[in-house]
Amino acid sequence: MLNFWLRSIGLGLATALILLLAVPSLRSNIIPQSISITDDDIGPLPVSFNSAVRKAAPAVVNIYSRQYSENDRSKLSTQGLGSGVIVSEKGYIITNYHVVAQADQIIVALQDGRVAAAQLVGKDRRTDIAILRVEGTNLPVIPLNQQYSPKVGDVVLAIGNPYNLGQTTTFGIISATGRSSISADGRQAFIQTDAAINQGNSGGALVNTRGELVGINTASFQQATDLETYGISFAIPYRLANKIMEKIIADGRVIRGYIGIDGQDITSVTARLLGNKHLGGIVVLGVDPNGPAADSGFEAQDIILKINGQKINGRQSVMDIVTDLRPGTVVDVLILRKGVEKNLSVTIEEDGRQ
């Protein structure tokens, strides 16, 4: 029986070989001529990000912060190093506040060899954003896309001037979004990435694979905490940086609305107890006794549901809505107090906190 099966298999293989040799067209159906790795949605997978770098890199500048010598007020010396991003043909540059905070003179060096003294338009310590302006023609502007939304897993490139070595590009992914734990007051959400960000990268560009601005590089976790870490860096989202820039250009400073409450997100357990209708609301933990919320009758344990008819989506959305309102604006806030919905009118004041 065994000999029978071996003879049958051998005869079959020999027949198949003869057919392949005799009919070449059969070979392409069995042996592919080439193998390519593709994604049905995006086509061939890229093996280089050179195109993105060529689009973005010319608009990333080196920034040198200079200060007068204490012993000789006629002498200027470079005390700080950072990067910046040209975001407008008018010469507006976004960088970090800490890069230029102590500067008596700011020098900007473009990648095409041009060097210019920059005007400080304004700065905002809370978000670590400063806006500069330089004069010039045919200034390179980084690609911008307001519709892009950073997502975990997106490939990103960090472009800057680490340790004054010259412009350098590092590579990584977006590791997380909405990181507020390293913010001094927990009010600012960062993009976390594993692209290397070192001293001198601050104020530089974090871009996607199309070269579009994703964020402004601001710190590594090691710089923020003095811990020995690797692959944890942070950037300020472009949408926030752009909003701060527009406020500074309009008013010379950032004017924020304030109502004087502190709150926390409703947990999923609490939402279920409330019938899941109020998921996204926040529970008021404290009320500033001298703030407008106290004057309007807010109390601890109130649940904020809507502001001016707009359903809120957590603590961050409340801060975003309120800070964008101009002082003097009157808003209606829908709250839930002891199971009963109630509307309270609040007059926005200017936030004087730093």
Closest residue by Cα to residue 108 from 79, 138, 65: 65
Choose the catalytic residue: 65, 83, 98, 351: 98
Assess whether 98 carries a catalytic annotation. yes
H-only helix segments in the chain: 2-22, 25-30, 50-56, 97-100, 221-225, 238-251, 268-273, 292-295, 315-324
Helix, strand, or coil here: 266? coil
278 is catalytic: no
Q: Is 119 helix (H, G, I), strand (E, B) or coil?
A: strand
Would you give the end-to-end CA distance of the chain in angstroms?
91
Give the active site residue among 65, 83, 124, 128. 128
Residue 322, C-beta contacts closer than 8 angstroms, at least 6 positions apart: 257, 258, 259, 307, 348
Cα(192)–Cα(7) distance, integer angstroms: 65
For 235, list phi and psi in degrees, rounded to 5.
Answer: -140, 150
- Residue 187, judged by CB atoms within 10 A of its CB (0-12, 13-18, 19+), counts as middle
> Of the residues 65, 83, 202, 233, which is catalytic?
202
Active site residues: 98, 128, 202
